[in-house]
Chain A
Amino acid sequence: MMSDMKLDGKLSEAEVCLRDELYCIADSKLVLAGWYMLVLQNGRSVSDFTSISAMMQGQYGHARALYQVLGRYGVSREEAEWTRTAAEIRSPQVLDRPPQSWSDFIAAIFMVEQAISTQLSAYKGVESDRPLAGLASKVLKESRFHLSYSTGWVKALRNDPTSTIDADAQRRLVEALDWWGDVSQPDLLFSSGLRTESEADLRKRFLAEVGKTFDVSGVSGGAAKAWKRSIRRDGNPGIPQGLYDQISFKNRELALP
């Protein structure tokens, strides 16, 4: 497949789009793993502690597997994971704002896990790229329990009449939708068959999934003016330096498998 896309040894436009999207998905998982690492001590029980540890481990594993796919473009996993600065990380805007409470944490991970799984699900049926399709299927299978975890906590939090979970979710939903900030832009990955669903359909499916748990009726459909597909964000690229400093490994040799 890739040889068909090469143009004079340079990456084709579709190839650049796929590389960018894989960076966005992998970086989302890397930053989400960092969130789990930082929140771990706040687990409400030993089983929560174990669950958050497992989800952290899962997200790191998924990120690294996706970084390995970037080897097609001459980027090593180590380069992708270790050498980039805060300005080069392409995780979604929703993860920039730290969790304000346990309830806000649950709302945020609910949205992010759902958003990543929705986007990745459009790769599991790509016949022309079986390695990526196989990886997407495996990641989705493992992520199912991450979704159960956040959905279960949403239900549990609603047992408390003073819970802020629905208000937290509304704020996080608006932030999460920046992931699909302008679905009217040309969608080369879909039109070239490298992704099986369009951005517009994926956004719709995301809202339908979220709508099973939260009210999504007030969501506006306006396009973000400065949204860039290569970073899946409205505005400037990169994550806050403070977040980067907290989630990046200080001694990378200790983290290498």
Chain B
Amino acid sequence: MKKIIDRQVEMGGNKPDFYEVFTRRNSAEPLTHIGSVEAPNAELAEARAWFIYDHEAWMEMCIVPLSAFVTITERGSASKVKVV
């Protein structure tokens, strides 16, 4: 029997979201955007972010769903967020 692979299901759902990742090494540093991860929920995003961006011993790492960002420049125009 031929195996049928549904990519959306395999990737973990119908609507994977992007989560932006912010880190800092110490309390003197500002939280800095270092990249993003794609995941269907916050738990998986948390794990993926931690495992992918583990090149430093971060004092703090935060993730924010891209959908939570409110763009205040060029509102209403065709402004785009480049996904890294």
| A interface residue numbers (CB < 8 A to B) | 44-45, 47-48, 50-51, 53-55, 102, 145-146, 148-149, 151-153, 155-157, 159-160
Contacts and interface: CB of A to CB of B under 8 A. Distances in A.
Contact of B47 (A44, A149, A160): A149
Interface in B13-50: 13-14, 37-48, 50
A159 B51 contact: no
Contact of A148 (B14, B46, B52): B46
A149 B52 CA distance: 12
Contact of B43 (A47, A50, A54, A151): A151
B48 A159 contact: no
Contacts of B41: 152, 155-156
Contact of A47 (B9, B14, B52, B54): B52
A229 B40 CA distance: 40
B46 A145 contact: yes
A54 B46 CA distance: 14
A51 B37 CA distance: 12
A159 B12 CA distance: 8
B74 interface: no
Contacts of A151: 43
21 contacts: A44-B10, A47-B37, A50-B48, A51-B47, A51-B51, A54-B54, A145-B50, A149-B43, A149-B44, A151-B43, A152-B39, A152-B42, A152-B43, A152-B47, A153-B44, A155-B41, A155-B43, A156-B13, A157-B12, A159-B14, A159-B40
